[in-house]
Structure 1
Amino acid sequence: MVLSTKVQVNLAAEEGGYFNGNNVGDSNNDVNSYISWEDLEVGEESLELKSKKELRVIVVDQHGNKGHSKTVQGAVNMVPDHNKERVKIYIFPGTYREKVLVPKSKPYISFIGKRNGTASAVITWNSKSSDKGPNGQALGTYGSATVGIDSDYFCASQVTFENSVVAMPGGNGMQAVALRVNSNRAMFYKVKVKGTQDTLLDNTGTHYFYKCYIQGKIDFIFGSAKSLYEKCRLESIAESYGAIAAHHRDSAKQDTGFSFVGCKIRGSGSVYLGRAWGNYSRVIYSNCYMDDIINPQGWSEWNHPERKKTAVFGEYKNMGRGADRKERVPWSKAFNYEEARPFLGKSFINGDQWLRL
């Protein structure tokens, strides 16, 4: 495969973190402070970007035959700090056993895998919270992440993020994050996030997950962010009990929460829709299909009875055997349209300000 002539990368710079030629950070063009479909695509035949602008693409090939870096982290390191243009990192099919951090100092980065091949580019590691880090201290849940995204306007498509630790119910220190997102604004399209306990740490910021696959057993989507999950597949692999979402919110004034719209919930075990992590935890499911794996009570206050008065757990027009509310805890709520409306679309995440889709 012939690489784009627009890729101006010094291969020896993989560890140094710079571009040869016109440095991306020196561009005079105003940066596009939004995410568009173009940011999630490359022309695979020639790896030339479909744009009139001279944007950059870095190619990752673990075999070293076709790319500029053998590792995903090496490609991230090649992006200059405080870059002012979108940089697309195209990841060839393969299993990349590494931990990856996209730092806050490198905004406007895209991870792109092979078109129609979400499972073909897999970034995987096996850290858990009880493992020791370089300083001899336990990593903790935050530090266990296979991939950490701190970069603003980050987006990813057709890539799998995985933590291969297999957590057993009741096991200590088994939290094992596959993807941690701290970006102010980020989008994930047709990605897979696979783990068992605490799979996706949707930590802080405003995020959009569209047509993604997210797998786990216990609290496998958790954090304090404000995020819309639209048309996603939520797959429980619990043997017995588990929970899908654990949202943390400490005040009614905090404009955060998880909204699931048009998602499909399937798998195994008996799982809660959500657990109240924080007094004002907020999780809403709308127009979702729920298989019979949902615990009939639906929701848990996490052994904090006072949270029954303040947690916001809502359901609106869901379908399937798991959507039956006859045995739901009385402090959860069946929303009407007016109550559900703020959570039904991209306006929930102020999408008009940063998405061009």
Structure 2
Amino acid sequence: MPADKTQLGQWFSNNVKSLESRKSTLDKELVAAEEGKTIIKVSQDGKGQFKTITDALKSIPSGNKKRVILHIGPGTYKEKIVVESTKPFITFYGTLGQMPTLTYGGTAKQYGTVESGTLSILSDYFVGANIIVRNSAPRPTLNTNCELRTLGDDGLTFITAQARKSTKEDNGFSFVHCELTGTGTGVYLGRAWYGYSTVIFSYCNLGNIFNKEGWSDNNKKEYDKTLYFGEYMNTGPGADATGRSKLTRKLQYSEVQNYLGLGMIEGSKWILPPPKV
């Protein structure tokens, strides 16, 4: 990705071509699914086929093999939404300027860490475009179009907790050109979950909400040599390296380049431009 955020749109257009020009490189299942789209209108005013996203999802049969676009009208949808693994090829699509907000107050205490999310995607080939997903539980971390805001200054707050367990796995979190702001203080970019937790922030604007250490091993010193917590060309007061934890890796371009493109997520096989509804 380019260092200049204003060039992202052009970069995306140059690197993510249409279905018609990429049929030979995309997954065959995806190509077949995109050739028979269905649009389901979700609207709280009753003018759509469904008033809730959950009911719209229920109408999609398990084992679905065609793209189904949920065109979601404006408003706040207070639902705990799960897209099951048996329902691939689903798109949540809102309208720019009238983006719907999906919100729920689930907590780890009530549902467990994994099950507490407002929106849980368990299926393959999911697409989300022009939607806001908000966790309205106490002291939330709000994730909106990669704008992360943290509220509150009591206790500990972590932006990430990544669960890579070994070098045999190829997963990790890469945040590029994100805005991390809020009203809280003492926030950490991330903490260890397992011994090989991997998180990189690149070209991000880090506000004045962060603990100067930036990263935590979660009191598991035995993980310190294998954690991969990287930073590259971030800006803002939170990017100040003074007092940073020894866990921090100040990366060079040669080290970070694989985390800046679509190759990390094998994007050539499945990423398509947003749908036209």
What amino acid does structure 2 have at the position aligned with 1:237?
L
CA RMSD, Structure 1 to Structure 2 (Å) = 2.3
Which of 61, 65, 69 is the matching residue for 1:84?
65
Establish whether residue 164 from structure 1 lines up as the match of residue 136 from structure 2: yes
What amino acid does structure 1 have at the position aligned with 2:104?
W
TM-score normalised by structure 2 residue count = 0.80
Match of 2:190 in 1: 274
Identity of matched residues, % = 39
Establish whether residue 56 from structure 1 lines up as the match of residue 38 from structure 2: yes
Query: 1:301 and 1:111, CA in 2 relative to 1: closer, same or farther beyond 3 A?
Result: same
How far apart, CA to CA, are the structure 2 residues paired with 1:285 and 1:162? 21
Which of 85, 105, 111 is the matching residue for 1:126?
105
How far apart, CA to CA, are the structure 1 residues paired with 2:222 and 2:118? 35
How far apart, CA to CA, are the structure 2 residues paired with 1:331 and 1:95? 40
Tell me the CA shift for residue 257 of structure 1.
0.7
Match of 1:32 in 2: 30
Which of 199, 213, 230 is the matching residue for 1:283?
199
Tell me the CA shift for residue 147 of structure 1.
2.6
The farther-off stretch of 258-267 and 155-164 is 155-164
Match of 2:79 in 1: 98
Tell me the CA shift for residue 294 of structure 1.
2.1
Q: Deviations over 1:143-189 (max 9, x none)?
A: 3333322121111122222332214xxxxxxxxxxxxxxxxxxxxxx
How far apart, CA to CA, are the structure 2 residues paired with 1:320 and 1:96? 33
TM-score normalised by structure 1 residue count = 0.63
Tell me the CA shift for residue 33 of structure 1.
4.7
Match of 1:207 in 2: none
Contact kept, 8 Å, 1:238 with 1:270, in 2: the verdict is no
How far apart, CA to CA, are the structure 1 residues paired with 2:254 and 2:76? 46
The farther-off stretch of 274-283 and 98-107 is 98-107
Query: 1:294 and 1:126, CA in 2 relative to 1: closer, same or farther beyond 3 A?
Result: closer
Contact kept, 8 Å, 1:60 with 1:91, in 2: the verdict is yes
Establish whether residue 70 from structure 1 lines up as the match of residue 57 from structure 2: no
What amino acid does structure 2 have at the position aligned with 1:161?
V
Unaligned runs of 5+ in 1: 1-29, 40-52, 132-138, 168-194, 201-211, 214-231
Query: 1:279 and 1:33, CA in 2 relative to 1: closer, same or farther beyond 3 A?
Result: farther
Q: Which structure dedicates a bigger proportion of its chain to strand?
A: 1
Tell me the CA shift for residue 117 of structure 1.
2.2
Unaligned runs of 5+ in 2: 1-27
How many residues align? The count is: 244
Q: Which structure dedicates a bigger proportion of its chain to helix?
A: 2
Establish whether residue 140 from structure 1 lines up as the match of residue 112 from structure 2: yes
What amino acid does structure 1 have at the position aligned with 2:102?
I
Match of 1:323 in 2: 239
